[in-house]
Amino acid sequence: MAKDNIKEITEKLEQGVKDVFTSGRYTEYLKFMGKFTNYSFNNIMLILMQKPDASLVAGYKAWQTKFKRQVRKGEKGITILAPCSHKVVVGEDDDGNDIEKCWTSFRAVKVFDVSQTDGEELPTGFVDVLTGEVEHYDDLLEKLRGISPVNVDFEDIENGANGYFNSADKRIAVKRGMSQQQTIKTLVHEISHAMLHDKDGGEEKEADRNTREVQAESVAYTVCSMLGLDTSDYSFGYVAGWSSGKDVKELTASMEVIRKTAKLIVDGLAA
């Protein structure tokens, strides 16, 4: 695999990701996300403890008024703590101005995840699920399983993820029932995590979550491109979603890691 070819592919990836930030679809998604409350760390932990698969959370009336959606009958709310501000006048200063005492208390309120509601469609961000078949799919799948440094299982994943790498158990899970293209792309993504981010020796194990996801998806895009599969509809939006800004610093700082890992995987497929 020619180094110049990898360079051309990763440069196309970088430009494609930057283009996502200037698209109308991205602007629409930002406006949509801006309607959600920013929850405190403690409330995020409360949400995850009660509903680990929660993704977008809002109050009962907010779902009705902001999103034209209705919480389904019988759904159990997620309890969080809402701050309440208090203020009383406790006296006057020498100039006759009121002296106020202010404090904050908290009360329990209920919120609901989007999965507990029905109604108008919500913007899905800027990631399109891949469709279509892959030539010599079964052979390619087996070769990728052989390249993977950990075991690969196919299973039903209910939390919306297409796959995951479990560093503690040393295994990869890929969602059963996806299209061939989505399956191959997802498996390469998770193999990249296993190669780069394993807690017991991955060279990029200290990278933050954003950088890890950008690296894995960028490797997947590059490998799939070398195999003749165009995953740009998914990969450009995915990388943009995990980038911290339009300068895509996680991507530009990881280019050599991405190229090296992609070459390792493709060379393994060719062996």
Q: Where are the domains of the chain?
A: 3-23+126-270, 34-119
Please provide the average confidence, as pLDDT, over all residues in the chain. 89
Burial environment of residue 9 by CB neighbours within 10 A (0 to 12, 13 to 18, 19 or more): buried
Asked whether 112 and 59 are in contact (CB, 8 A), the reply is yes
Instruction: Report pLDDT digits (tens) over 18-42.
Output: 898 888 777 777 676 666 677 777 8
- The predicted model gives 111-138 an average pLDDT of 86
Pairing between strand 69-71 and 78-92? Answer: unpaired
Instruction: Report pLDDT digits (tens) over 177-195.
Output: 999 999 999 999 999 999 9
Q: Using the predicted structure, report yes or no on whether residue 97 has a pLDDT greater than 70.
A: yes
Global pTM? 0.69
The one-character DSSP state at 110 is E
CA 216 – CA 213 distance, rounded (Å):
5
